[in-house]
Structure 1
Amino acid sequence: MKKFFLSCIIILTPMSVTYAYEKNRIFLTTSFWYKPIPTNVSLHPNSYNYVQEFLRQKKAYFNLVNINTSTYTSPIYYSTLSTPKVNVREWDCQKKGFSDPGLKTQWTGVPIPSNALPSKGTDAEMTVYHAPTDTLYEFWRMRKTYGVWEACWGGRMQGTHNNQGIFPPLYGATATRLPFIGGQITAEELSLGEIKHAIGISLVDAERHTIFSWPAMRSDGWNPYNVKNRIPEGLRFRLDPTVNVDALPMSRAGKIIAKAAQRYGFVIWDKAGAISIRAQNVTSYTLVGKPDPYPALFNYKPSYEVLNGFPWSRLQFLPMNYRVQ
């Protein structure tokens, strides 16, 4: 929910790559996740200052933008009609002193594959999508205790193909109620050479939690001293579409991400220890017998070097509550 980790060509047939690529497109076809941003869109009146704030954070926190692949990013498991159903109980990792009755209902009879594992790291994220019922489950700080699954928070989204890609009120594992499956990049996308959705991004410092922008429905931002130009969670931004990405001194994967940043942009969905985006957790692949796809896709660069050469100074922030018309 709030972290990053410095983690470091999947060989598939074109048909299998395309199938896996489409499996994550589970929301309305008109969802904000999938709609390109017009090139001539009006920008946020404070766009310049937000760019400077982004650059400040990048420099202050390790001077990088990381791609999380094994820790602090969610594996996604695709369950079937034959997947055994289990109840997931809530555990009070935040010492609230009470449980949520809504989670008990949502987490009854969850089809979790028997070999599923949550992400490494303290956030221990996990996602399950059940296509037969068009239902998405998310878990934060997921663990197994004496053979019983339990999580600290998360939620269930029913009828995902009729949903914009936002969890119901109160629920979801990210700070903003925006689901991992919408904004994570995948090995299949990098293999095919195109990302066709907005990319979720985490900042370190965000505007206070009472100020956020659609599509975010909540925030964990913290700005007790009212520092100017802190960026609200949910705000969308893109790479200037006039940048010639092919001419940039970037890795192949970096250029694929940069082109998606021009066409679909980023959306701020969480906080982290450094600015970071999420790639679908490697466990999604290794637990079904595939090799870790990311080293080859990243040309054997560390994950924090893949976006080297990205022209972050050419970002453009969009207006509050921006929606593609």
Structure 2
Amino acid sequence: MTARWQPYTDPAGVTWAARSTTLGTVRSSTALEGKDIIGTTRDALYQYSAVGVTGYALPVPHDGSYRVRLHMAEGWWSGPGRRVFDVHAEGVLAAAGVDIFHSVGKGAAHEVTFVVAVDDGRLDIDFVARADLPVVGAIEVDEVPPPEVPAVTEPEATPPPSSAPTSSSPAPTTDVSAPDATPPAPTEDHDPSGTRPPSVEPSPPTGSTPPPEAPATEEIPRDPEVVQETFAMRMTASPTDLVDSAGHVWRRRGPALGSSKYNTNLVGKDVAGTEDDALYQRSVVGPKGMLVPVPAAADYRVRLLFAEGYWTRPGQRVVDLRAEGVTVADDVDPVAAAGPRTAHDVVFETRVEDGMLTIQFVNEVDQALVAGIEVVSTDPAAATGLPLASLIPHADSSEFRRDVRSAPVAGNSAAAVARLLTAIDAGKGWNAGVNAYEYNSAFYRATPQTPRRRVRFYDCQGKGYTPSGLYDGPAYFVDVPIPDDAVPATGTDAQLGIYDPTSDRLWEFWVTRRSADGEWKACWGGRVDGVSTSHGAFPPPYGVSASGLAMAGGVVSIQEAARGEIDHALYLTVTEAQRELFSYPANRTDGRSDGPDLLREGQRMRLDPSIDVTALGLTPFGEMVARAAQTYGFIVSDLAGHPAIATEAGRQDERRTGLNPWDVLLGGPSYDALAKFPWERVEVLPVDHGSPDADR
């Protein structure tokens, strides 16, 4: 049932019934109507919400177990703790402290899932408000047939916490990150309930054609043997690199694993069914998916590692697996397949054509708990190295590649950083932002076949004339290669970037629009010729950033985040910058502040290179940013409402795969991606550091 007053048919052809009065309210919210909902292709389910929901009653055909999915999105509040509610099913707490914004942010799809036993012919769900009013966009109920599973002998083990549900209680919700919730799988997050088992270490923060036939999938309890590898990537949830019994190196956890929450219940314990206990003793909790860059279009063998460290009975954690858009394993239940505290691998083969292996976890009961991933290929095509990870090739002379570890520190560094810290905290304990879903860079690579277009000047600033250089002289708005499927970044800046490797040219446009007849227009922009030998800025006064710096030079690309390494300086926006004055490598500014110790646009900062970033409790994404900030630093590039770095936009990937890559790579909400980042240890470099008059 949808919260809309009319039936709705989703893209898969499923019809959702019109809203009934059983929700206990006639109030509605249309705050998200017509907007792109992050994390789903079924936007209409989330754009219209019932507000003030008190309960839902559904007659069921017979007694048994039913899976409930509550679909919701926050369209009003822009911070955690502003809307919080509990969900009870059949009189038992099913989801505690549901906080949509805390879990996924504003305007993003959020799903709360649980299984409940019904023995009176009617499923009853109650919503209890803690802060503001509960909201629901749609409710989905499916009958869960009794599982046919082999008998499982439970080993002698520490029993699960007393909060584990009985067979007549709803299985806990997937919404474990909400405040005050008792999580179904203990993580390294703070647990107010006090019911967590002991072995938990401190946390880092948080009309259509038929579908293709799914590849064969095997579930095996031991390591498969792979020989003559042309490509291999292995990663576990461990905080350190590991070496398995076959001599393979497994990398420490990175953004590719899809979560910054960890279950450590098996640390220090024997894991049955394997000689490599350490590979299975830690797991990421609740990943939506995993992303693995691969070198070429080829066949790859994937091995996902599971070991259940919380539940002890079959049916208490069940997930489906999808790879490259195809279901490769249904109803993966490690306890049913192997038993608790036992290694269980799911192995399958898939072909990857687009340079990124995309794996998705579809939660059936509880949420995914995954210890590691191995991706190998024996295909000769995969013997080539991984392609360029950054959006554009950086010249040795590019300011984005300057190593600043040994650079001097400005005399007013401490005072300037203090002002920056005040802006980051904003009196609310905030982190610096990561513009992963809006105000980032929608970026495309052109090919010789990409259509060439004339971009029309759109006078959004009221200049009253067409500036020179757009159609005469360098003609920056003429003969621009824009792919047919290009979409500008979300947000009023609507940036669009295109790099053409053949001509070695970069175009960036600001406030970009495409009309119904296919014509492109932009309010401003520019072109960099000879990108691979450029120092990283547009000729003044062109480009999309107020500093003149190429945005593509400093944003975090999807490939970089998936690999866990950034090899350039980071594009940083700040809330205030000096009026009229700027620093190399900027060639202009929109700074409008006066006062002491203000940063200038173009000025560089770095994170103290002596810090061990692995000891800070950062998210994997945050640790990757910290390492780049130590070597290449930040460059103040523009003004914004809050200090933030930016990424490549994920909208084109989401349209192709159904999964926004940043839902995986940030490991949680974007506002938590840089939690615990030590901004107090950032150092400001002198004005004009690296200018042609200084030694490189």
Q: Hey, what does 2:583 align to over in structure 1?
A: 213
CA gap 1:13/1:117 in 2 versus in 1, 3 angstroms: same
CA gap 1:44/1:136 in 2 versus in 1, 3 angstroms: same
Q: Hey, what does 1:194 align to over in structure 2?
A: 565
Contact 2:293 2:562 in 1 (8 A): no
Query: Does residue 43 of the first structure (1) align with residue 393 of the second (2)?
Result: no
Contact 1:115 1:287 in 2 (8 A): no
Q: Hey, what does 2:287 align to over in structure 1?
A: none
Query: Does residue 229 of the first structure (1) align with residue 597 of the second (2)?
Result: yes
Deviations along 1:99-128, one digit per CA (max 9) or x if unpaired, are 113112211111100010001111110001
Once residues 33 and 203 of structure 1 are traced to their aligned partners in structure 2, the CA distance between those partners, rounded to angstroms, is 18
Once residues 256 and 23 of structure 1 are traced to their aligned partners in structure 2, the CA distance between those partners, rounded to angstroms, is 14
SS at match of 1:273: coil
Query: Does residue 113 of the first structure (1) align with residue 480 of the second (2)?
Result: no
CA-based RMSD:
1.9
Match of 1:139 among 502, 506, 509: 509
Q: Mark the runs of 5 or more structure 2 residues left unpaired by the alignment.
A: 1-78, 80-104, 109-289, 297-354, 357-384
Q: Hey, what does 2:424 align to over in structure 1?
A: 58
Once residues 12 and 259 of structure 1 are traced to their aligned partners in structure 2, the CA distance between those partners, rounded to angstroms, is 20
CA gap 1:234/1:85 in 2 versus in 1, 3 angstroms: same
Match of 1:10 among 275, 288, 291: 291
Query: Does residue 263 of the first structure (1) align with residue 631 of the second (2)?
Result: yes
SS at match of 1:33: helix
SS at match of 1:261: helix
Once residues 615 and 654 of structure 2 are traced to their aligned partners in structure 1, the CA distance between those partners, rounded to angstroms, is 34
Q: Hey, what does 1:161 align to over in structure 2?
A: 532
Contact 1:67 1:304 in 2 (8 A): yes
Once residues 290 and 159 of structure 1 are traced to their aligned partners in structure 2, the CA distance between those partners, rounded to angstroms, is 35
Query: Does residue 275 of the first structure (1) align with residue 643 of the second (2)?
Result: yes
Q: Mark the runs of 5 or more structure 1 residues left unpaired by the alignment.
A: none
Deviation (angstroms), 1:26: 2.1
**What's the % identity of the aligned pairs?**
34
Once residues 592 and 549 of structure 2 are traced to their aligned partners in structure 1, the CA distance between those partners, rounded to angstroms, is 19
Once residues 451 and 655 of structure 2 are traced to their aligned partners in structure 1, the CA distance between those partners, rounded to angstroms, is 17
Query: Does residue 93 of the first structure (1) align with residue 460 of the second (2)?
Result: yes
More helix by share: 1
Once residues 485 and 295 of structure 2 are traced to their aligned partners in structure 1, the CA distance between those partners, rounded to angstroms, is 26
Once residues 87 and 19 of structure 1 are traced to their aligned partners in structure 2, the CA distance between those partners, rounded to angstroms, is 34
Q: Match for 1:68: what amino acid?
A: N
Deviations along 1:38-82, one digit per CA (max 9) or x if unpaired, are 33x211111111111111111227622111112100111001111
Deviation (angstroms), 1:287: 4.6
Q: Hey, what does 2:685 align to over in structure 1?
A: 318
Q: Hey, what does 2:341 align to over in structure 1?
A: none
Q: Which has the higher contact order (CA 8 A, sep 6+)?
A: 1
Q: Hey, what does 1:295 align to over in structure 2?
A: 663
Query: Does residue 123 of the first structure (1) align with residue 493 of the second (2)?
Result: yes
Deviations along 1:136-171, one digit per CA (max 9) or x if unpaired, are 111000001242100000101111112111101210
Once residues 25 and 99 of structure 1 are traced to their aligned partners in structure 2, the CA distance between those partners, rounded to angstroms, is 29
Deviation (angstroms), 1:314: 0.5
Please identify, of 27-36 and 117-126, the stretch whose mean Cα deviation from structure 2 is larger.
27-36
SS at match of 1:106: coil
Deviation (angstroms), 1:11: 3.4
Once residues 575 and 402 of structure 2 are traced to their aligned partners in structure 1, the CA distance between those partners, rounded to angstroms, is 27
Q: Hey, what does 2:675 align to over in structure 1?
A: 308
Q: Match for 2:529: what amino acid?
A: Q
SS at match of 1:101: coil
Q: Match for 1:267: what amino acid?
A: I
Once residues 417 and 295 of structure 2 are traced to their aligned partners in structure 1, the CA distance between those partners, rounded to angstroms, is 38
SS at match of 1:127: strand
Contact 2:293 2:386 in 1 (8 A): no
Contact 2:446 2:501 in 1 (8 A): yes
CA gap 1:109/1:290 in 2 versus in 1, 3 angstroms: farther
Contact 1:250 1:309 in 2 (8 A): yes
Once residues 645 and 576 of structure 2 are traced to their aligned partners in structure 1, the CA distance between those partners, rounded to angstroms, is 15
SS at match of 2:421: helix
Q: Match for 2:399: what amino acid?
A: F
Q: Match for 2:438: what amino acid?
A: T
Q: Hey, what does 2:359 align to over in structure 1?
A: none
Q: Match for 2:575: what amino acid?
A: V
Deviations along 1:239-295, one digit per CA (max 9) or x if unpaired, are 101111000011111101011111110000001111111011112423554731112
Deviation (angstroms), 1:89: 0.9
Once residues 122 and 191 of structure 1 are traced to their aligned partners in structure 2, the CA distance between those partners, rounded to angstroms, is 27
Deviation (angstroms), 1:172: 0.4
Q: Match for 2:449: what amino acid?
A: S
**So what's the TM-score if we normalise by structure 2?**
0.44
Q: Hey, what does 2:281 align to over in structure 1?
A: none
Q: Match for 1:10: what amino acid?
A: L
SS at match of 1:254: helix
SS at match of 2:630: helix
CA gap 1:235/1:287 in 2 versus in 1, 3 angstroms: same
Q: Match for 2:425: what amino acid?
A: K
SS at match of 2:664: helix
SS at match of 2:293: coil
